[in-house]
Amino acid sequence: MDKTLVYLVTGGCGFIGEHIVELLCKQDYISEVRVFDSMASEEVKKFATASTCVTVMKGDIRDYALLLFAMRGVHLVIHTAGIVDIMDLVPFRDMEAVNVAGTENVLKACCALSIPFLVYTSSIAAVGPNTRREPMLRGTEDTKYTGEVELPYGKTKAMAEKLVLEANGKELSNGGKLATCIIRPNTVYGEKYQRLKDLYTTVKAKGGLLNYIVREDTERNLIYVGNVAWMHVLAARNLQLNPDVLAGQVYYSYDDTPARKSYLVQYQLLTGIDPSIRLGSCIPYWKLRLLIYFYRIINILLYPFWKPRPFLNLPVLNTIITTFFYETDKAFRHFGYTPLYSWEESKRRTIAWLKSATMNLRAHQHHGKEM
């Protein structure tokens, strides 16, 4: 493969995007990784190597003219940019403008500039659970699952997926054809997963007791972010090498993270930095629903004078307690994917980051005990 390849990663400073950039810089067939992000950070430049440079460009994918400028000379796009909002902090129209119209802009730019390959980062939320809370157990990419998607975020990802699949095979300005494929992660954990840091803070504030919402009979895939990124890297390369196999395909992310229950993985990660943390019990569904309605009433009564931080909402609660689990080896069969990081290495790397991220908090708590 030509050493002069240029890849562009939209959202390359985000949680998954940054890990994709890091791994792309280690590939000897790429000369430049271009990062296009509305929250552009120079930090990703640290991944540059002697043979692969990193160029950071600040921009919003809703700005088509700027997007065209950033994408000139690019051979392949990995489109991870988007608003991930499950707590209704962002109005739906704004999320739709970025996740759907923004994706349309990226595809339009690919056709205008004759960029023949695009890998899209979607989400399991694009599939479900649906509003009827119907489970999916040991599904595959071919499993038929219907009904209205529960999460507004998931609705925008489903709409964007439809655009990406419809664009596959579309004619480019030079007469070629656009080849697209989609990666669908489920629950992702790893370094820079802010919710894990927030969970530690919450657990310590409650005396070190980790209570959880997920019911014991609920199953969901958990995947280390480095393996999600690695799947993107392999899919991108093989989309170029074997477009007849990958074009128009959807792939679920997976690795060997052992637990199918998020609270058990969280417990292992938190106790890795603080052995005093104890596993509590499942919070009853009825109690959580009451709390959600209570927060709604408070919000109505106090708006616009004060808007409390969202505690939870019903779509999120229903998503958390609904089994959505798949078993697949499609990525291995189509492009030889196997996890780059074992569970032990994934755990070690995540715990090391969490230790660093919570260092000040733990030092303060230790100092408080000595006083």
Active-site amino acid positions:
153
Token code pair at residue 255: 């690795």
Cα gap 240→233, rounded to integer Å: 11
Token code pair at residue 130: 């649906």
- CA nearest neighbour of 365 among 158, 204, 246: 204
| Residues 6 or more apart in contact with residue 190 via CB below 8 angstroms | 15, 19, 224, 225, 226, 346, 349, 350, 353
Q: How far apart are the first and last CA of the chain?
A: 63
Please report the DSSP string for 41-66 in residue order.
-GGGGGG--SS-EEEEEE--TT-HHH
| Residues 6 or more apart in contact with residue 62 via CB below 8 angstroms | 97, 98, 101, 102, 105
DSSP 123: -
- CA nearest neighbour of 250 among 122, 153, 76: 122
Scored b (16 or more CB within 10 A) or e, 322-358 reads: bbbbbebebbeebbebebbbebeebbebbbebbeebb
> CA dist 236 to 163, 188, 214, 264, 365, Å?
18, 20, 34, 32, 45
Dihedral over alpha carbons 135, 141, 144, 147 (to 10 degrees) = 60
